[in-house]
Amino acid sequence: MTNRAHNFFAGPAVLPFSVLEETRDAVMNFANVGVSIMEISHRSKEFDAVIQDAERDALAIAGLSAQEYSVIFLGGGASLQFAMVPMNFMKTKADYLITGEWATKAAKEAKMFGAVNEAGSSKDKNFNYLPKSLKFSPDADYVHITTNNTIYGTEWKSVPDTGNVPLLADMSSDMFGVKREWSRYSFIYAGAQKNLGPAGVTMVIIKRAYLEAKANEQAPTMLKYKTHVEKVSLFNTPPVIAVYVLGRTLKWILKEGGLNAIEARNQKKAKIVYDVIDAYPMFYKGTVADKADRSIMNLTWNLPTPELEEKFVAEAKAKKMLGLKGHRSVGGIRASLYNACPMESVEVLAKFMEEFYNANK
Rounded CA-CA distance 199/210 in Å is 28
pLDDT at 3: 85
CA dihedral (55, 61, 63, 64) in degrees, to 10, reads: -20
CATH number of the domain located at residue range(s) 259-360 in this protein: 3.90.1150.10
Mean pLDDT across the chain: 97
Q: Around Cβ 37, how many Cβ atoms within 10 Å? A: 23
Rounded CA-CA distance 321/315 in Å is 9
pLDDT at 39: 97
Cis amide linkage into residue 12, ω under 30° from 0: yes
- Confidence category of residue 329, pLDDT binned at 50, 70, 90: confident
DSSP 8-state secondary structure symbol assigned to residue 184: G
By percentage, how much of the chain surpasses pLDDT 70? 99
Is the CA virtual torsion 225, 106, 51, 167 positive or negative? negative
Active-site residues: which are they? 102, 170, 194
Q: CATH 3.40.640.10: does it fit domain 17-255?
A: yes
Domain with CATH 3.90.1150.10 in the chain: 259-360
Residue 354, C-beta contacts closer than 8 angstroms, at least 6 positions apart: 276
Average pLDDT over residues 117-124: 98
Q: What is the pTM of this model?
A: 0.97
Average pLDDT over residues 124-151: 97
- DSSP of 35-78: S-TTTS-TTSHHHHHHHHHHHHHHHHHHT--TTTEEEEEESSHH
Res. 1: pLDDT tops 70: no
Average pLDDT over residues 45-65: 97
The model's pLDDT over 191-237, given as tens digits with 9 standing for 90+, comes to 999 999 999 999 999 999 999 999 999 999 999 999 999 999 999 99
Domain with CATH 3.40.640.10 in the chain: 17-255
Rounded CA-CA distance 315/350 in Å is 14
Please tell me the number of Cα atoms within 13 Å of 192 on its side-chain side: 28
Burial class (CB in 10 A: 0-12, 13-18, 19+), 137: middle
